[in-house]
Chain A
Amino acid sequence: MSNITELYDAILTGNHKKAVEITDTALKGGQDPKELVDKYMIPAMDEVGRRFEANEYFVPELLIAARAMKGALNLVRPLLLAQKVAPAGRVVIGTVKGDLHDIGKNLVAAMLEGGGFEIIDLGVDVSAEKFVAAIKEKGANVVCLSALLTTTMPGMKDIIKAIETAGARKQVKVMVGGAPVTKQYADQIGADGFSDNASGAVTEARRLLGVG
């Protein structure tokens, strides 16, 4: 019989099976789902993020940890919904039009999810119109744009303009990222946040929303 405190380690080491098992047992034993998330799962993902940022973890470790987290989260999520627990924020994320690179974007989405955010992932090759529609429809308060090509990065500027034109700019904080994107570029196009890695994206989102 596993101890609930082992959930933290199971996520940190990417042990999907164990993470799901512990969560399942704990919930059946009457454990409060919100406490499970706040006390074990989010701290575990924060530590994963810290290690990634410190270059101790790399893409493979981050992905398996995120997978373990997701497994556990899938059991908890319906209960949180039933309890009407509000997420830390509602994030629309996607890779911009003309670009299909999505590994970095997927990591950002996974880390944000692990950080307690609700994720609406629009996938790749996403047009400005689609971003705008999703922001409005889902009532998002953060939008994350990812671009990996020198040639598709300028599309981010157009998306920010489209959000403005649609009158939704006050509603969302815009975060941008991807290998060619820099802090200067983010500032230049009027984005609110930037990070060069998936863990920093969580810190940045929390800062922008004033949570955590």
Chain B
Amino acid sequence: MSTESNERPITIRLDPLDKVVHVRAGAPLQDALFALGVEFPCGGRGTCKGCRIKVLKGDLPPTDHDVQKFTEADIAAGWRLACQAHVKEDLVLHVSQWDSPILSDNTAFAFDPQDGLGVAVDLGTTTLVAQLLDLTTGQVLAVRTALNPQARHGGDIMSRVEFGVSAEGQAKLKDLIRREIGRMIRELVTASHVAPAALHRCVIVGNTVMHHLFCGHSVEPLSHYPFETNHLGLQVLTAKDVGWDEFTLRIEFLPCFGGFVGSDIVAGVLATRIHESEQIEVLVDLGTNGEMIMGNRHGLFCAATAAGPAFEGARIYMGMRAATGAISRVHVRDGRLVCDVIGEGTPRGICGSGLVDAVAGALDLGLVLPNGRLLDGAKKMHLLDPVVLSQTDIRQLQLAKGAISAGVQLLAQRCGTTTDGVARLHLAGAFGNYINVSSARRIGLLPMAEEKIVASGNAALHGAKLALFSRDTERLCAPILKLTEHMTLSSDPKFQDVYVDEMSFPASGV
């Protein structure tokens, strides 16, 4: 991973994984670690200690949260909360949660020790994360991240599908992704000085398009209505099949629910166990496709709400990803909006979490009206020079948040309840980790009491890791698939009404 800066980057080494990340001075450590699959169980609020790290080399001054959460002796020994830390100098760190696999709720899961080593891969449309695990001890031995090399043939999923519809396009995308993941696995093996033959299994999760492209199935059916394919099931391949000749491992791509609800969501269910819950729970991925699944051990419903990329800062006038220079937090202080900038330098734009915060704060101050209009018909609102929020940006946010909350409501209806009857909302995906939950509630994005909302980190990768410890992945996923009904919102006549209602903002905060 590299930063876009031209200032001298800070080097962070993660021991014993031989993994190095470079970040900008002052950058939150959470950003760098999240990309490696580190989980932030309480959403980085400094309350759970799930993200604790030990500073082995370098100086990381303790924060107020550290003082509250750790004993003096712990602090002296170098323990810190990763979610609170901003890095100022080169560091060598030890990530505690990689010592043994833990569940998002911080309880150790009883895993069934297996022979050899395994790799868990989260194959995203944009980013790839791979972790090498010792299946006997459950330890993470090494991690690698990369950008999905297919992205040059279309950033969003439908452009990728369009490119992949032709036979040559399909073959090209397949080769690119197989080669890149093979390269990552080779690096993992080299970094941890293990024999390639010790690698027994590889579990991959990803959305249905990624699943089809990796496994070599045509994406043509995913390019148009009814978006149905015959290859949703668990795909088992050998290393030979995909051209990773020096390995003998068995590759399993977990099954998908439907055309736009993939195995990353199946893995999310494995990680959050909503399929074993007595109460109704929901898992929401606040990404471009807005996938969600709701229910309990008696039945589950899933859907893709297609929110669009606003939460990732795309299609927003000064929008950007959560990187240095992005306004990532906005608070109301003394009747004014106060902005925090990642890296604390000159602001360059605003990322999704900043957007949600800014609109929430502006609603409280009456600068944005519940119908989404800026006060006095203004065309834009100044945040922190030169960053502004335009009226059109607010409209984009209304389209995206309306789709998510309409989806949650319609799923609740299908479960025979209302959003009040849902006991827990798990937020998956990168954005779910950064977002300020009370702001999300203020704009009506998450129609749920605050204490019910939990960030579940990289639930997809977590689920893939759990699957590595299962003797029979088919049997592990079968009950989830059997319980779940895929809802196509496009054929739901209620969708438009609920969606349009949900485009407005709640009149007052609760």
Chain A interface residues (CB < 8 Å from chain B): 55-56, 58-61, 63, 97-103, 106, 124-125, 149-152
Pairwise interchain contact A149-B395, C-beta atoms closer than 8 A: no
A102 to B495 alpha-carbon distance, docked (Å): 11
A60 to B373 alpha-carbon distance, docked (Å): 12
Q: Assuming the A-B contacts A149-B158, A151-B224, are A100 and B491 also in contact, with contact meaning beta carbons closer than 8 angstroms in the complex? A: yes
A contact residues around B491 at 8 Å (CB): 100
A contact residues around B379 at 8 Å (CB): 55
Interface-centre pick from A99, A106, A151 (highest chain B CB count, 10 A) = A151
Count of residues in B whose CB is under 8 Å from the partner chain: 27
CB A58 to nearest CB in B, in angstroms, measures 6
Pairwise interchain contact A60-B225, C-beta atoms closer than 8 A: no
Pairwise interchain contact A103-B161, C-beta atoms closer than 8 A: no
Chain B interface residues (CB < 8 Å from chain A): 156, 158-159, 161-162, 165, 223-225, 371-373, 377, 379, 391-392, 395, 398-399, 490-491, 496, 499-501, 503-504
Pairwise interchain contact A55-B490, C-beta atoms closer than 8 A: no
CB A198 to nearest CB in B, in angstroms, measures 14
A contact residues around B161 at 8 Å (CB): 150-151
* A99 in complex: contacting residue of B224, B395, B398, CB < 8 Å: B224
B contact residues around A60 at 8 Å (CB): 371, 500-501, 503-504
Q: Assuming the A-B contacts A100-B491, A101-B490, A103-B496, are A55 and B391 also in contact, with contact meaning beta carbons closer than 8 angstroms in the complex? A: yes
A98 to B220 alpha-carbon distance, docked (Å): 11
Pairwise interchain contact B395-A151, C-beta atoms closer than 8 A: no
CB A15 to nearest CB in B, in angstroms, measures 16
- Closest residue of chain A to B402 (Cβ to Cβ) is A59
Pairwise interchain contact A59-B165, C-beta atoms closer than 8 A: no
Pairwise interchain contact B224-A56, C-beta atoms closer than 8 A: no
- Closest residue of chain A to B499 (Cβ to Cβ) is A103
Pairwise interchain contact A58-B499, C-beta atoms closer than 8 A: no
Can you sample 6 A-B contacts with CB below 8 Å? A58-B371, A98-B224, A100-B491, A101-B490, A103-B500, A151-B223
CB A100 to nearest CB in B, in angstroms, measures 4
CB A82 to nearest CB in B, in angstroms, measures 33
A contact residues around B159 at 8 Å (CB): 150
A contact residues around B500 at 8 Å (CB): 59-60, 63, 103
CB A83 to nearest CB in B, in angstroms, measures 34
A149 to B223 alpha-carbon distance, docked (Å): 9
* B395 in complex: contacting residue of A58, A63, A152, CB < 8 Å: A58
Q: Assuming the A-B contacts A101-B490, A103-B499, A151-B161, are A58 and B372 also in contact, with contact meaning beta carbons closer than 8 angstroms in the complex? A: yes
A101 to B161 alpha-carbon distance, docked (Å): 18
- Closest residue of chain A to B496 (Cβ to Cβ) is A103
A125 to B490 alpha-carbon distance, docked (Å): 11
A contact residues around B165 at 8 Å (CB): 151
A59 to B402 alpha-carbon distance, docked (Å): 11
* A100 in complex: contacting residue of B156, B225, B499, CB < 8 Å: B225
